[in-house]
Amino acid sequence: MDYKDYYKTLGVDPKAAQDEIKRAYRKLARKYHPDVSKETDAEQKFKDVGEAYEVLKDPEKRVAYDQLGSNWNAQQGSRPPPGWDAGFEFQGAPRGGAGQHDFSDFFESLFGQARGPGGGNRGFHMQGEDHHAKILVDLEDSYHGASRSISLQMPEVTPDGHVVRRNRTLKVSIPKGIRQGQQIRLGGQGARGQGSGKAGDLYLEIEFNPHRYYRVEGADVYLELPVAPWEAALGASVKVPTPSGAIGLKIPPNSKAGKKLRLKGRGIPAKTPGDLYVVLQVVLPPADDEKSRELYKRMQEEIPFDPRASMEVA
Partner 1 sequence: MSVDRNGDKLLVGQVLEESDLVTLADLCRSCTVETQTVTTLVAEGILDPMGGDVEHWRFTVGSLRRVKTVIHLQRDLGVNLAGAALALDLLDRIAELERP
Provide the mask over 180-199, with x wherever binding to partner 1 is found by CB under 8 A and - wherever it is not: -xxxxxxx-x----------
The residue within the footprint of partner 1, chosen from 4, 12, 21, 46 (CB under 8 A), is 46
Our finding on whether 44 is near partner 1 (CB under 8 A) is no
Q: Which stretch binds partner 1 (CB under 8 A): 84-92, 172-180, 226-234, 295-303?
A: 172-180
Our finding on whether 130 is near partner 1 (CB under 8 A) is yes
β-strands 247-251, 260-263 pairing = unpaired
Q: How far is CA 295 from CA 27, 236, 255, 300, in A?
A: 61, 20, 21, 9
CB of residue 173 to partner 1, shortest distance in Å: 5
CB of residue 143 to partner 1, shortest distance in Å: 16
Our finding on whether 212 is near partner 1 (CB under 8 A) is no
Our finding on whether 201 is near partner 1 (CB under 8 A) is yes
Nearer residue to partner 1 within complex by CB, 134 or 260: 134
Residues in 86-105 that interact with partner 1 by CB under 8 A: 96-98
CB of residue 179 to partner 1, shortest distance in Å: 9
**Three-state secondary structure readout of the chain:** CCCCCHHHHHCCCCCCCHHHHHHHHHHHHHHHCCCCCCCCCHHHHHHHHHHHHHHHCCHHHHHHHHHHHCCCCHHHCCCCCCCCCCCCCCCCCCCCCCCCCCCCHHHHHHHHHHHCCCCCCCCCCECCCCEEEEEEECHHHHHHCEEEEEEEEEEEECCCCCEEEEEEEEEEEECCCCCCCCEEEECCCCCCCECCCCCCCEEEEEEECCCCCEEEECCEEEEEEEECHHHHHHCEEEEECCCCCCEEEEECCCCCCCCEEEECCCCCCCCCCCCEEEEEEECCCCCCCHHHHHHHHHHHHHCCCCCCHHHCCC
Residue environment code for 221-231, b if the CB has 16+ CB neighbours within 10 A, otherwise e: bbbebebeeeb
Nearer residue to partner 1 within complex by CB, 254 or 272: 272
Our finding on whether 285 is near partner 1 (CB under 8 A) is no
Our finding on whether 2 is near partner 1 (CB under 8 A) is no
Nearer residue to partner 1 within complex by CB, 58 or 102: 102
Our finding on whether 113 is near partner 1 (CB under 8 A) is no
Nearer residue to partner 1 within complex by CB, 62 or 198: 198
Q: How many residues bind partner 1 (CB under 8 A)?
A: 40
Provide the mask over 132-161, with x wherever binding to partner 1 is found by CB under 8 A and - wherever it is not: x--------------x--------------
Residues in 262-281 that interact with partner 1 by CB under 8 A: none
Binding site for partner 1 (CB under 8 A): 29-30, 33-36, 46, 50, 96-98, 127, 129-130, 132, 147, 170-173, 175, 178, 181-187, 189, 200-205, 210-211, 215-216
